[in-house]
Structure 1
Amino acid sequence: MESALAEIEFLALSSNRVAVLEALTEGVHTRSELADVTGASQPTLGRILRDLEERRWIARTDGGYEATATGRMVAEGMTDLLAIVETEAKLRPVVEWLPAESMDFDLGRLRDATITVPSRTRPSAPVKRVNETLRRAEDVQVCSHALNEGTLETVRERVVNGQQRFKGVLSRTAIDALAEDDSLRARLRELVAAEDATIRSHPEEIPIAVTVADGRVYLLVRDDDGVLQAAVDTDDPDVVSWAESVHERYWSAASPVEPDTL
């Protein structure tokens, strides 16, 4: 293991080494082309090429240099490792609150996710991120333990105007909370009565808040006290498939909400 870690360290200590090796996995490159890719000086590039040749990760050809089979294997592994570490660094601020027990997909699928966190100047930034999408989305699925006033009004307006199709499953407590307020109850009743909206009530508390809007997933992440910590959104196919399966699971165990029951 120590020798393997030493080789990883050898690559990790120089972004130019990684760049050269990755470039040569794509095809033959001359020294001048590699200099353009890395921005390294000729003496530095010469040392890099010698070191990679000694490890038999690259070989000289008539046209320059190219990666060997083992060089391509190492480059692929390094690329994967970098992607994993980059994803971990992105998720680190919110990982303790992610519903990991129910997220049955590789967390690496969140590499390109957008993470929106509250700030002093924008404390509601995560919710606004989701609502901005709802204002233009045509197909929306929601599975949640809550539905805030802003989201309800955005969805109601879009659905009533024929601009959106909405399918939501909410915890019974979320329905009851909205029904306790006369204004919110009226808006919820109008939404439920709309032709392009279907809402179901789940008897138990839904532990997550997931929205799928036009093929993009939005996950609202809360801490143990219920305080919103972030919105995580992505259009990765595996994550979308997961979100749709979560929605279907709660949907199938829920009961339809009718206007006259509110």
Structure 2
Amino acid sequence: MSAATPFLDNTIEPDEPTVPQGTINGARTPKPRDPVVLTPTSNSNAGMATTEGDAESGIAGIFRQSAHPLALFFLFFFRIAAIAVYILCGWFTDNYVLSTVAVVVLLAMDFWNCRNVSGRTLVGLRFWNQVDDDGESYWVFESRDPSRPANPIDAKMFWIALYMFPLLWAALLIVSILKLGFAFIPIVILALVFNVTNVIGFTYADRDAKQKWANSVVGSSWGLGLGGIGGQILTGAVKKGVGRFFG
């Protein structure tokens, strides 16, 4: 063990009480044992970040700061896996049906996970299409309470994944057309349909959540004594601002 600053401020006392060296009834007493002091080894800081910036950088830092690392992991896992299988399937098999089925299954799992798990967990948003008793179809949006904002890292990574992967599939579509790989174009189009649907749904869900937040702010102004003309001015300003930026 290398000489270093003691790991603990206090020493660990011996198990047995020590007595001064001498003789008791003609027998020589043993020499007192030295106190035990714990010292760190030379590699005690191996693998540890030396600065705050190092500790919060990279993929590991993102998952450490995430409030829901498992949901964040599967959000990227299914999307990356679908693209990886699409690009690399030709290197491992010539079976077109097997490759297509594998990519489609991953795309379906990603679509379901993003809409029902990742979106609700990471940013507190959810959407679905509902048909009423009259046969009319309409969209339903859910959002978390504005007083409980989402984790900034989770929200940032979710929106990055939501908008980045449709661009990647669009690039793959262009490559397929240039290489005349028409057999794989339907797969890419299906991927774009799934990804763009989530983009549109969550974008409108986020817009709906911001509008609800603006309405709640306007409603609370009446409780703060801003009724009458002052309340009307604030109501018009907030609604106009929300309509300009989100609608």
Fold equivalence (TM over 0.5): no
Q: TM-score by structure 2 length?
A: 0.26
Normalising by structure 1, we get a TM-score of 0.25
Structure with the largest fraction of strand: 1
